[in-house]
Amino acid sequence: MPIRGEPSTEDVKRVLNEQNPWFQTGNVPDAMAKTVERSLGQNLWKAVLRNDPRRFHVIIGPRRVGKTVVMAQTVRHLLANGIGPRRLFFLRLDHPLLLQLPLGALMRILTRGGSPAPTLESPTFVFLDELVYATDWDLWLKTFYDEQHPVQIVATSSATAALRQKRPDSGIGRWEEQYLMPYLFTEFLDLMAAAPELPIADDFHETIRALIDMPALDPSVVGVVAELRRVFVLAGGFPELLLRIPKNDEASLILESQRILRSDAVERAIYKDIPQAFSVDDPMMLERLLYVLAGQNTGLLSPTNICKEMNQMSQPTFDRYLSYLERAFLVFTLPNYSGREPTIQKRGRRLYFVDPAIRNAALQRGLAPLSNPTEMGILLENMAASQLHALAIQSQVRLFHWRSGNDEVDLVYSHPEHPLAFEIASSASHSRRGLVRFCEKHPRFRGRCYVVAPDAQALKPEDADAGVGTLPLDLFLLATGRQAEAALRARLAC
């Protein structure tokens, strides 16, 4: 007998049949899995199937980046590799009936009655969409892992805010967070069949040097890449939008993308995800803060000035609300590099949007940046930062900026063995002073600093003035994207 108020086992089985069409057909419909696969969709199934060391997987990232699609693609790969359809359960946990059922009760239904019975070596694969809808989901996952239930779990969440507020020890050694960020520029070029072949080394520093040494790209290829970059910085890296809008209609792609992003990525995060996770009483103030931050994109944060602009918002409230926006994958901040861990968090942070298109959607900028060189320069710096941020996440390297007096460096990639520093500029004639001063204070970066600009030539530091190399912006974006894809494959041991 079910507990009073819980759905019956028969009701749950009916929902399972509705949500898992491969029970009848043996195949995942293209409408669920899509035929275009991102790197995570191509490789996650290998780690899930190998399961050594044993780990669950939680896919986190902004709305609209394809987390649910990656799970469906993982199901498709597992079916193709001999896993029986009745061992693969895909559950949308926001379903009204499933909301009534504790995860423990749901798991009992999934793992009982099978023939043969599931084991740790031959588990039931359970895919949980929007995991945070389940009450005490972290304790249940801990229980399933510690008590060695015969399940392998993959889940999604659009709000790392909800994940981070849970008991911090629950996931240690039990599940891995798989970050799925907006499209890398290289993924967009692949989608448009315009990506050139590039040599990729084991580390980012050697990849850059290899790209500088390779023969120059054909001018026609360079022109196509530059034009697509101009569209990408405004339309954003959200696959569902890029796949559904005609590729030859630039204005429609940009405007429709911004409209949908404002509705789904911005407003749903502010009015649904964050309040659900943190019980925010005034989401309109949170939205207003996002607008203020959008006006300071790529700049140093001044909490005092922002609090004044926000009608005397208190500093603790500002810090708390900013952390919510970061955890909902709308923005990220870079601390000031010091070389000494105790002083890292004591100095100013620089703000970027996870994707510059989210900033444009929040401000409803439309096509205006296309005719505003200053604003486009800010967006291109944000694009460079967000692509390097994605690489830093996949390679598990810390990313900083640096400022000392009037000297500054935009991006410091603090790899323990192969560090790099970049100044993102609108022109190759940009001053090298900040990078030179940075190397004087932090000698481990000597020979590893670059000015990145659209009109720059590819030069190694030892061949350039002041020991500062130069990189074309698009070459930097191509290198960053391909390196991030390689880092993801390496991290999944694929």
Domain 9-180 has CATH 3.40.50.300: yes
- Which tens digits make up the pLDDT trace of 144-164? 999 999 999 999 987 654 555
For residue 125, pLDDT over 90 is answered with: yes
Q: How far apart, in whole angstroms, are the C-alpha atoms of residue 154 and residue 174?
A: 12
At residue 145, the pLDDT reads 93
As a whole number, mean pLDDT of residues 379-383 equals 94
At residue 124, the pLDDT reads 93
- pTM metric for this prediction: 0.91
- Which tens digits make up the pLDDT trace of 318-346? 999 999 999 888 999 999 998 776 555 55
- Select the more confidently predicted residue: 384 or 345: 384
Share of the chain above pLDDT 90, in %: 59
- Which tens digits make up the pLDDT trace of 273-327? 888 777 788 899 999 999 999 888 888 899 999 999 998 789 999 999 999 999 8
- Which tens digits make up the pLDDT trace of 212-226? 999 988 999 999 999
At residue 328, the pLDDT reads 87
Q: How far apart, in whole angstroms, are the C-alpha atoms of residue 84 and residue 76?
A: 11
- What average pLDDT does the chain have? 89
- Which tens digits make up the pLDDT trace of 422-474? 999 999 999 999 999 999 999 999 999 999 999 999 999 999 989 999 999 99
Domain ranges across the chain:
9-180, 186-491
In whole angstroms, what separates CA 277 from the centre of its chain?
19
